[in-house]
Amino acid sequence: MIFFLMALLLHIDIVSTAIDSQYCSEKVTIVHIVVCLKQVPDTTEVKIDRKTNTLIREGVPSIANPFDLNAVEAALVLKEKYGATVTVISMGPPQAKEALRRAIAMGADQAILLSDRSFAGADTLATSYTLAQAILKLQDAGGVDLVLCGKQAIDGDTAQVGPGIATRLNLTQLTYVSKIESVDADGKHITVERKLENGVEIVRGNLPALLTVVKEIYKPRYASLPCLIESLAYEPVVWNAKQISADSSQIGLEGSPTWVETIFSPPLREGGVILNPGDENYDKEFSGLIDTVKKIVAEERSKLVCS
Amino acid sequence: MNRIEFDVVVVGAGPAGITAAYLLAKEGLKVALIERGEFPGAKNVMGGQFYSYPMRDIIPEFWEAAPLERAVSEKQLWLLSRESKIGFSYKNPQFGAPPYNAFTVLRAKFDRWYAEKARQAGVVIIPETLVTGIIKKGTQVIGVKTGRENGEIYADVVVAADGVNSLLSKYAGLHGEIESRNVALAVKEIIELPQGVIEDRFQLEKGQGVTIEFMGEFLKGMVGTGFIYTNKTTLSVGIGCLLSDWVDNGVSPYDLIEDLKSHPVVRPLLQKGTVKEYLAHLIPEGGYRSLPPLYTDGMLVTGDAAMLVNGLHQEGSNLAIMSGKFAAETILEARKAGDYSARTLGAYKKKLDESFVIKDLKKYSNAMPLLENNRHFFSTYPRLLSDAADEFIRVDGVPKKKKQRMILKGIFKRRGIIGIIKDALSAWRIVK
């Protein structure tokens, strides 16, 4: 019994030191988190302009990119844990303030809109440059420990802007993050789970880092009514090209080497075959199916041998 | 924590709610407009006729800026038999010019535009928020509860504009579940066609539109109509029948809409169109007899929530706007008097009673029960008329005099002389 109690006490002691080191240590861990958020057309209603190969945005409702809201939520969870400040930034036209207000309603501390006519027509290269310039400005003003992005935007689906920012700012790049395991007490490392096609990878990286997150990380919270009402009147800070010291050759259309040759919907995958053991020709069809599969496997195999 | 307080809370950002909120905010009141959808219009599926009165009094020349589809310059009624039609039409190009009589509209877009006007006037629009209850002090409604954390909002007065099957009216005990014979279930497809094709096919001037109502055998004896409304680059095609009829007949709305679409005279109008959306909604068509109490201490009920729909004339959105306007006027009067009890708010009902809104509903108060008890208007008569026309027009060696006799014989055989007299009397009672 006594042993048990001692063990318990010891355990509590260990836990409390852990908490101490997380919350009360001299070394500060996460102080400032920047989340990049994009306003996108609701892709359930998207149409393509056949002449220009661009998305028709007229009349299509805009929403905050869903993966970015997962990133906002992740930032807010870290904020609650470490008392960090959360800044949300977006590049876009003035209407994008709407998406930023959503993050404010959820609990972000401030929102900055990067808006300038010269930003228009940016591809992922120019966009990552513009966002990186803004983050640089925030870094200069007092540091940025963590940048969070959604894994990709649902309109372009490129997943390039997050990595682009990481590269430009020389941040540790951790993509497809499904869980933030821990932040080291010394504030120098972060451990995350990455959701990959063939499994989960646990990675420890240096801070400051840039994470792109998948939706499994956290479900965006439903804002409380007072926060929502407050956010409706919130005016995001607007920074133009000059205010982020942007090089005019690297922003907007001019800084965008990408052009779209063509755009199309991928062909629908054909439905599979369903065979019922009770069916009349079941045996015949089944053996036919096996033959087909064998043939495909043989073909693929011969390709492998040849190469 | 501080209480969230507004002068007025309006629940539901449709035409009734937006109108009330807009007019009150313009008078300087602090107004919250709560909407369940992601934005006003997000949940709306109405695509039909929108009469320009009284909207044109609230935002003069709204057609210059509002997202509207086509100015309706022609109304048609088609009686369909199994393979043919008899059509009636009234076309007036003047309807296609200011101040316009009616537009076709897709309300999802319109409501969003209209709500933006309200927001600019100072209304605080609270989206994605469901009202889960009302807050009462004694008998007085003093606010609403929402599904959000710390979600209580207090106000001098609450406007229920939350549509058919109004939750607020239920919370306030103004009515229980709606009877299925007092609502119509409308099902509709949005069919896309190029703008020019629509104009050619329906013989329309650019920007003008037509509405076609269908009655006949395809309804399988149910009380209702089918319709085609021309939008800019789509057609709204559908059927609305009493919910109780759908249930009693066990007809699937989807099958019925297919029947209408494949009717030999309807099919060519839809050719090569692609179905974009499939929608369904309840319309409170119970009329005057189904009106719930329209006010209580601290609360007014407007629009569909108040069952303000004139089914025979397809008026709904405009009646909603009218009720929103009266609600706003009443609230301003109550504010002056400093009294939001039912005694003062009763002025709202009086305003409605004295306007065309209730007067029209009263005029047709017999229509629904009569139509419900007499299905011949929707099935037998279209058939008889088309048989008569067919006989009269077909040249096959039978002398015309004999044809006339055959037509009359056919009619009396189907419905009987007494039946016809009875129907004529009912028809008169409906429209008188």
What CATH number is given to the structural domain containing B230? 3.30.9.90
Select the residue of A59, A223, A225 nearest B4 (Cβ to Cβ): A225
Q: Give a yes or no: residue B91 inside a domain.
A: no
B151–A224 CB contact, under 8 Å: yes
Residues of B in contact with A222 (CB under 8 A): 147-149
Burial class of residue A9 in the structure, from the number of CB atoms within 10 Å of its CB (0-12 exposed, 13-18 middle, 19+ buried): exposed
Q: Is B275 among the domain residues?
A: yes
Is B394 found in the same domain as B251? no
Chain A residues in contact with B150 by the CB 8 A cut-off are 224-226
Is residue B235, in this structure, part of any structural domain at all? yes
Strand partners, B106: B47
Q: Hey, are the CB atoms on A232 and B124 less than 8 Å from each other?
A: yes
Residues of A in contact with B147 (CB under 8 A): 222
Instruction: Flag if B149 and A222 touch (Cβ within 8 Å).
Output: yes
- Total domains in the fold of chain B: 3
Q: Are residues B271 and B220 in the same domain?
A: yes
Residue that is last in its domain, among B256, B284, B312: B284
Tell if the CB–CB gap between B125 and A232 is shorter than 8 Å. Answer: yes
Q: Among the residues of B204-296, which ranges form H helices? A: 243-249, 253-261, 267-270
For residue B273 the two structure tokens come to: 């169109």
| Block residue for tokens 């009875």 | B422
Which residues, 6 or more positions from A14, have their beta carbon under 8 angstroms from its beta carbon?
none
For chain A, domains (ranges, CATH) are 29-220+227-242 (3.40.50.620)
Minimal Cα–Cα distance from B149 to chain A, Å? 4
The answer on B264 and B307 residing in a single domain is: no
Q: What is the pLDDT of residue A10?
A: 43
pLDDT < 70 positions in chain A: 1-28, 43-59, 305-307
With beta carbons less than 8 A apart as the criterion, state whether B202 and B191 touch: no
> Sign (positive/negative) of CA torsion B7, B13, B18, B20?
negative
Statement to judge: residues B155 and B47 lie in one domain: yes
Note whether B321 and B385 are same-domain residues: no
- What was the pLDDT predicted at A6? 47
Cβ contacts (< 8 Å) between A59 and chain B: which residues?
67, 109
Question: B429 with B366: CB under 8 angstroms?
Answer: yes
In a domain, B236, yes or no: yes
- End-to-end C-alpha distance for chain A, whole angstroms: 69
Whole-number Å distance between alpha carbons of A209 and A213: 13
A 225-264 residues with CB < 8 A to B: 225-226, 228-229, 232
Do B112 and B155 reside in the same domain of the chain?
yes
Residue B244: closest CA among B161, B176, B179: B179
| Nearest CB to A226 within list B112, B124, B150 | B150
Comparing CB atoms, the residue among A61, A63, A228 nearest residue B148 is: A228
Say whether residue B132 is in contact with chain A using an 8 A CB cutoff: no
Would residue B374 count as lying in a domain? yes
Same domain? For B133 and B221 the reply is no
B85, part of any domain: no
Domain with B342 in it: 4-69+105-175+292-354
C-alpha–C-alpha distance, residues A112 and B395, integer Å: 79
Tokens linked to A140: 């200069």
B361: in domain: no
Nearest Cα of chain A lies from the Cα of B62 at a distance, in angstroms, of 18
Q: For A229, which of B112, B124, B147 is closest by C-beta distance?
A: B124
Query: Domain boundary residue among B354, B378, B396?
Result: B354
Residues B190 and B122 in one domain: no
Angle at B147 between CA B144 and CA B152, to 5 degrees: 35
CB atoms within 10 A of CB B8: 26
Size of interface A-B (CB pairs under 8 A): 39
Going by C-alpha positions, the residue among B378, B98, B110, B107 that lies closest to residue B236 is B107
**Long-range Cβ contacts of B356-360 (<8 Å, 24+ apart):** B356/B322, B357/B308, B357/B319, B357/B322, B357/B323, B358/B288, B358/B291, B360/B310, B360/B313, B360/B315
Claim to verify: residue B16 and residue B133 sit in the same structural domain: yes
Written as one string, the DSSP assignment of chain A is -HHHHHHHHHHHHHHHHHHHHHHT-SS----EEEEE--EEE-GGG-EEETTTTEEE-TTPPEEE-HHHHHHHHHHHHHHHHH--EEEEEEES-GGGHHHHHHHHHHT-SEEEEE--GGGTT--HHHHHHHHHHHHHHHHHHH---EEEEES--TTT----HHHHHHHHHT-EEEEEEEEEEEE-TTSSEEEEEEEETTEEEEEEEESSEEEEE-TTS-PPP---HHHHHHHHT---EEE-TGGGT--TTSSTTTT-----S---PPPPPPP-----TTSTTHHHHHHHHHHHHHHHHHHHHHHHHH-
pLDDT of residue A306: 58
Could you tell me the CATH number of the domain that includes residue B170? 3.50.50.60
In whole angstroms, what is the distance from residue B47 CA to residue B283 CA? 13
Interface contact B151, partner A, CB < 8 A: yes
> Distance (Å) from the C-alpha of residue B7 to the closest C-alpha of chain A?
15
Interface contact A44, partner B, CB < 8 A: no
User: CA distances (Å), A267 to each of A42, A264, B259, in order?
Assistant: 21, 9, 32
Domain closes at, from B322, B354, B386: B354
DSSP, residue by residue, B311-362: TTTTB-HHHHHHHHHHHHHHHHHHHHHT--SHHHHHHHHHHHHHSHHHHHHH
Are B166 and B188 part of one and the same domain?
A: no
Query: Smallest CA–CA separation between B379 and chain A, in Å?
Result: 39
* CB within 8 Å of A87: residues ≥ 6 apart: A32, A33, A34, A35, A108, A109, A110, A111, A112, A138
Which residues of chain B does A228 touch, with a Cβ-Cβ cutoff of 8 Å?
Answer: 126, 129, 148
Residue B128's φ and ψ, nearest 5 degrees, are 50, 40
Residue B157 lies in a domain: yes
Query: Are the C-beta atoms of residues A144 and A208 closer than 8 Å to each other?
Result: yes
Residues B207, B137 share a domain: no
Mean pLDDT per block of 10 residues along chain B (432 residues) reads 91 98 98 95 90 95 96 94 91 91 94 96 96 96 96 97 94 89 93 95 94 92 93 96 92 93 96 92 90 96 94 91 98 97 97 95 83 78 85 89 86 82 81 72
Asked if B149 is an interface residue toward chain A (Cβ–Cβ < 8 A), one would say yes
